[in-house]
Structure 1
Amino acid sequence: MRQAQREPRGRDARRPALRVFAYARRVKPRSRYLARLRRRDGGGCVAYDPWPTAADVADAVSPPYEGAGEAGDWAEVVVSDGVARGAVYARAGSALASLIDIAARHGLDPVFPPAVEREVEALFEGAGEAPPGTDDPGLADLSELPFVTIDNESSRDLDQALHLSRDGDGYRVRYALADASYYVRPGTALFDEALARGSSFYLPGWMVPMLPRRLSEDLVSLNPGVPRRAFVFDMHVDGDGRCTRTLVIRARIQSQAKLSYDGVQAWLERPQSATAPWSDSLRLLAEVGQKRIEDATERDVVRHRRRSVEVGLEAGVEGLRSFVMDSAMRNDVERYNEQISLLCNVEGAKLLAAARDDAGMQAIFRVHPSPPAARLEGFQAMTETLGALHGLAPWRRGEQSLAAYLASLPWEGERARASRAIQRQAILINVRSTFSDEAAEHHGVGAPVYARFSSPMREIVGVFLHKELWESLHGESLKAEGAPDDETLRAAVIEAANRSKALQRRLTALGNRLAIDQLFARDVEAETAPIRRGTVMGLTHGKLHLQLDDPAIDVKLYRADLERALGVELRLTDGDTAWRVRGDDGREVAQVGAPLDVRVSHRDVGRDRWVLLPLRAPARS
């Protein structure tokens, strides 16, 4: 059926068409790339370049390869005189190779185009002892303050550093963000490539950066012991944790330590003398972070309690051969640090909203609408059913906020599983957030406006917003000659940001699937497949959603598989919270919020899924 083309109206009529940037991202043949080795007629291998090309450039013949490696391996190669020479990057069949396969299928090239590499080299040309850009006389000098970064132990692209101090009855919070927009300017190959990528992309234990690593892990990253440019939010916070004033400056800082969430958590939990120059700052982080959490609770911001599963790569005798999964709850320090980041993004969004009358301001907001009324009504009905089954109080909309209700649920004891199932259903009533040029609420943060300033090396939105805010506040242009106009750029940035966020969700699912495949394959290969206990999180007519206890991953059981294995017909009952055997006895097979023991039976190759079958339902604990 053909559809009539709608004439643009309202804001759509004023929005310019997206410009197609002329910068050719890929030109073949390339002299350096990550190659898939393929068997060559007559022996040996060729180095195949699988990454995307410009549409008008024909693929070159894969050059012969010289170096270690076999067909199927991935190798880093440099081509000269028609021959590719290099070394193995990932062995065929390894976990790392499977991740690179995923990246290649989605066009995520870890190697940057020559034009980008030349611009990076130019940044360092003629630099003196100070890192390029850090000797700028226009920078405020905050290098004596004991800033520190707090991130995961393995992180190397350090976007944020913080320093907290007393300010009368309140606090002064300085939140320094890597000044990527100074180096990555519209009109350059660096910006165009970052825009084409949209963000950095993360797979288990491996990532494809938005910016070249010489920037994202070196010159721009807030590494300890070296001067760095920073975009600093100087925020004054009162004794209740509310921000009363914010100033944005560009400064030179020098982080004094690269700390980890677990390390700071351990430091705060054991009594010790204040020996490090940042000791007071960390103690104040805990104070301000807790006050911000309490303030969020008063504003009825929903806090979802959930265990995260970290999927990484495990080294073996032949490299990164397998996946490893670790389940954990976020610790307090990670939540405190998150609160400072959220505060920075809210304050930045307020500045953007206040400057919207500026004719040149092109703001981008992160918008998250409240759940629709129909979903809230359905959730309330579900809590009434599960509450009656598991001895929990139901949610009474209009009498109690959703945040207060979820906080009241028990997280220990025999009803903890039912609480987790209710928590999962509460997450599912939300709608997805998006990037937009319209200022609107962010329900998940509990803020009237919100913007993503805090990840300028990982998201193109951060680069663009830093540029826009600085130009609005100080009138200094941060664009190269010949760059597109800002309104066109904003439209392209919004499209890239929303696209990259959707792609990251897909990559996360694919990466986790590889880890699950490895886990369940080992179960099937075992002499006796292990029993895995989990919590039934939800039921539909065709599927059962189960979260395993260890590792805390989500898996599906299919009704058709169970009916074939058990020789019965199942029906969905009890307000869509139970599967029962159809017939006179109505025996319960699964109940939302109850435990369920399962074994991996086999892999259904035709349907590309694992078949898990339940054992006898265990006692509810």
Structure 2
Amino acid sequence: MPALHLAIRDGAPEPIRAGLARLREELEVPGDFPADVLAEAERAASAVDLPGLDRTDLALVTIDPPGSTDLDQAVFIERDGDGYVVWYAIADVGAFVTPGGAIDREAHERGVTLYAPDGRTPLHPPVLSEGAASLLPDQLRPALLWEHRLDAAGEALSTTVVRARVRSREQLTYAGVQDAIDAGTARESLQLLREVGRKREALEAARGGVSLQIPEQEIRVTSSGGWELEFRRTLPVEGWNAQISLLTGLQAAGIMLDAKVGILRTLPPAQQYGIDKLRRVAKGLGITWPGKVNYPEFVRSLDPAQPKHLAMLNACTALFRGAGYAAFDGEVPEQPLHGAMNAAYAHATAPLRRLVDRYVGEACLALCAGEPVPDWVRAELDALPKAMGSATQRSNKYERGILDLVEALVLADRVGETFTGTLVEWNEKDDHGEIQLAEPAVAARLTGRRPELGEEVAARLAKADVRTGEVEFRA
């Protein structure tokens, strides 16, 4: 699921701290872990049983934003004739969590890790998520080791997953890897990450899929003491790395569908109304979208180096609304596809931060070994879509609420000014619209005169409340 990423240097600005506290209270964001959960996590961290299969020979590395400590994935790629072998180690959360135990029960209540400018609310206690279970460098760790064998075009020939002990050789950052690849100094595995990543992107385009490189929005202090919101340019390596995760999710879905048991991440095909709205957003941002160009082609044409294109990518996340989970045991779901992938897909690569990934991993481990899916996995399949749906809904509201607060902060000292934007939507029931500004690149509520959809509008900023996050323009 795409997520907006908001970076704020030096923590949350003081003016929005009360709003953040209100938001956490309204959404019932979990606080500290209960004592029994922490005690169980400490015991698990100190007594982990490493798998017998030793694959510390693999030169795995992690690639994450600077300062990350909850490291779910490590990758190593090598040539195999005219094809490739992709080794992908995923944190083995199941090695630390007892089904039905205190950690497991709490994880079902939380569902996902929540992120905010002033800290995160983890799915698992930090002693696990940032310590014993995290694929930190130079540490022996239990992992779910995926082996993908690809042909010369990057198409998957076979996939299997086993439990193994691994050791990440190094914790890398996207910027560092991109610089090394561009300079020609990157190790062969990272050069192959670019090679495989590009081929997987081409395969995605051929099947009609599309991946969004979601921009990171950063708030910073201006020279005049105000606040501004800008988009961080995404790097090509972020897309190549994401393709390895997507490959694993696609193959995991295939394994479970073949066995007719598991849980998929699903998304209905995009509706024309949503596409039409995005065309109006593009107009508001001054981006040309020719009528003959379809949505996937348009997204691939966007240049993350251009701030307005980054804002457009941000707006494109709206088409991912309606995503859900489909559990099955005995019959394949009627609608098994993920609309953005144009293929069946499963969440499998972020178990430290997302509950469902542990279940997908355990199901695939059993199926690849020719064994029955564990009873405890099957017992929870029916309940998982609801649990993940609730957790995802809270995460989305939290994310949106935080962004509302930040946008209100950026605009707070400009109340009364007139801005130019484009009407991208009108709510008949509540008689208000949504206006997309080009500068700053934000979308907000519009009241007053109703313009035509797609019309350029001069609107006065009437409200920018840093406590509630409410921003309103009047036409």
Answer yes or no: is 1:250 the counterpart of 2:163.
yes
| CA distance in structure 2 between the partners assigned to 1:547 and 1:303 by the alignment | 25
Residue of 362, 366, 371 corresponding to 1:467: 362
- Deviations 1:78-120 (Å, cap 9, x if unpaired)? xxxxxxxxxxxx9996755653443343333331112112212
1:296 shift after superposition? 1.1
Residue of 321, 337, 347 corresponding to 2:251: 347
Residue of 510, 516, 519 corresponding to 2:407: 516
- Deviations 1:19-59 (Å, cap 9, x if unpaired)? xxxxxxxxxxxxxxxxxxxxxxxxxxxxxxxxxxxxxxxxx
Q: Match of 1:232?
A: 145
Q: Match of 2:454?
A: 577
Match of 1:141, SS? coil
Letter of the 1:503 counterpart: R
1:411 shift after superposition? 9.3
Q: Match of 1:379?
A: 276
Match of 2:231, SS? strand
Q: Match of 2:7?
A: none
Residue of 549, 555, 580 corresponding to 2:444: 555
Q: Match of 2:422?
A: 536
Residue of 327, 342, 350 corresponding to 1:446: 342
1:606 shift after superposition? 13
Pair 1:600–1:285, CA change in 2 (3 A):
same
1:195 shift after superposition? 0.8
1:152 shift after superposition? 1.1
1:522 shift after superposition? 4.0
Match of 2:120, SS? strand
Match of 1:437, SS? strand
1:206 shift after superposition? 1.5
Q: Is the 8 A contact 1:199 1:459 kept in 2?
A: yes
1:366 shift after superposition? 0.6
Answer yes or no: is 1:328 the counterpart of 2:232.
yes
1:434 shift after superposition? 0.3
| CA distance in structure 2 between the partners assigned to 1:421 and 1:515 by the alignment | 15
Letter of the 1:141 counterpart: D
Unaligned ranges ≥5, structure 2:
1-10
Pair 1:386–1:298, CA change in 2 (3 A):
same
Give TM-score, length-normalised by structure 1: 0.64
Q: Is the 8 A contact 2:412 2:465 kept in 1?
A: no
Q: How large is the RMSD of aligned CA atoms in angstroms?
A: 3.9
- Deviations 1:451-505 (Å, cap 9, x if unpaired)? 11111011110112222222344477997xxxx8544412222211111111111
| CA distance in structure 1 between the partners assigned to 2:160 and 2:150 by the alignment | 12
| CA distance in structure 1 between the partners assigned to 2:467 and 2:85 by the alignment | 60
| CA distance in structure 2 between the partners assigned to 1:345 and 1:606 by the alignment | 39
Pair 1:325–1:214, CA change in 2 (3 A):
farther
1:530 shift after superposition? 8.2
Answer yes or no: is 1:196 the counterpart of 2:109.
yes
Q: Match of 1:293?
A: 201
Match of 2:339, SS? coil
- Deviations 1:553-577 (Å, cap 9, x if unpaired)? 3333x232xxxxxxxxx4534xx32
Letter of the 1:559 counterpart: T
| CA distance in structure 2 between the partners assigned to 1:422 and 1:121 by the alignment | 44
Within 5 Å, give how 1:42-53 maps onto structure 2.
none
Determine which structure has the larger helix proportion and give its number: 2
Pair 1:326–1:152, CA change in 2 (3 A):
farther
Letter of the 1:436 counterpart: A
- Deviations 1:408-442 (Å, cap 9, x if unpaired)? 689999xx97x899878876556521011144011
| CA distance in structure 1 between the partners assigned to 2:215 and 2:138 by the alignment | 34
Residue of 118, 141, 148 corresponding to 2:39: 118
- Deviations 1:143-171 (Å, cap 9, x if unpaired)? 12211101111321000000011111011
Pair 1:489–1:303, CA change in 2 (3 A):
closer
Match of 2:58, SS? coil
Match of 2:40, SS? helix
| CA distance in structure 1 between the partners assigned to 2:57 and 2:349 by the alignment | 23
Answer yes or no: is 1:183 the counterpart of 2:79.
no
| CA distance in structure 1 between the partners assigned to 2:134 and 2:467 by the alignment | 47
Q: Is the 8 A contact 2:19 2:469 kept in 1?
A: no
| CA distance in structure 2 between the partners assigned to 1:410 and 1:476 by the alignment | 46
Give TM-score, length-normalised by structure 2: 0.82
Pair 1:430–1:493, CA change in 2 (3 A):
closer
How many residues are matched?
A: 449
Structure possessing the higher radius of gyration over alpha carbons: 1
Letter of the 1:175 counterpart: Y
1:335 shift after superposition? 0.5
| CA distance in structure 1 between the partners assigned to 2:278 and 2:108 by the alignment | 45
Letter of the 1:536 counterpart: T
Pair 1:269–1:103, CA change in 2 (3 A):
same
| CA distance in structure 1 between the partners assigned to 2:216 and 2:201 by the alignment | 20
Q: Match of 2:6?
A: none
1:445 shift after superposition? 1.3
Match of 2:147, SS? strand
Q: Match of 1:10?
A: none
Q: Is the 8 A contact 2:359 2:377 kept in 1?
A: no
1:610 shift after superposition? 3.4
Match of 2:383, SS? helix
Within 5 Å, give how 1:94-243 maps onto structure 2.
95=16, 98-124=19-45, 127=47, 132-134=48-50, 136-137=51-52, 140-243=53-156
Unaligned ranges ≥5, structure 1:
1-89, 315-321, 561-569, 579-588, 591-595, 615-621
1:142 shift after superposition? 1.4
- Deviations 1:256-307 (Å, cap 9, x if unpaired)? 11111122112222243x5xxxx11111101110111111111122355764
| CA distance in structure 2 between the partners assigned to 1:577 and 1:420 by the alignment | 20
Q: Match of 1:432?
A: 322
1:381 shift after superposition? 12
Which gives a bigger RCO, structure 1 or 2 (Cα 8 Å, sep 6+)? 2
Pair 1:281–1:476, CA change in 2 (3 A):
same
Pair 1:290–1:547, CA change in 2 (3 A):
farther
Residue of 368, 388, 409 corresponding to 1:497: 388
1:238 shift after superposition? 1.2
| CA distance in structure 2 between the partners assigned to 1:410 and 1:255 by the alignment | 33
1:329 shift after superposition? 3.2
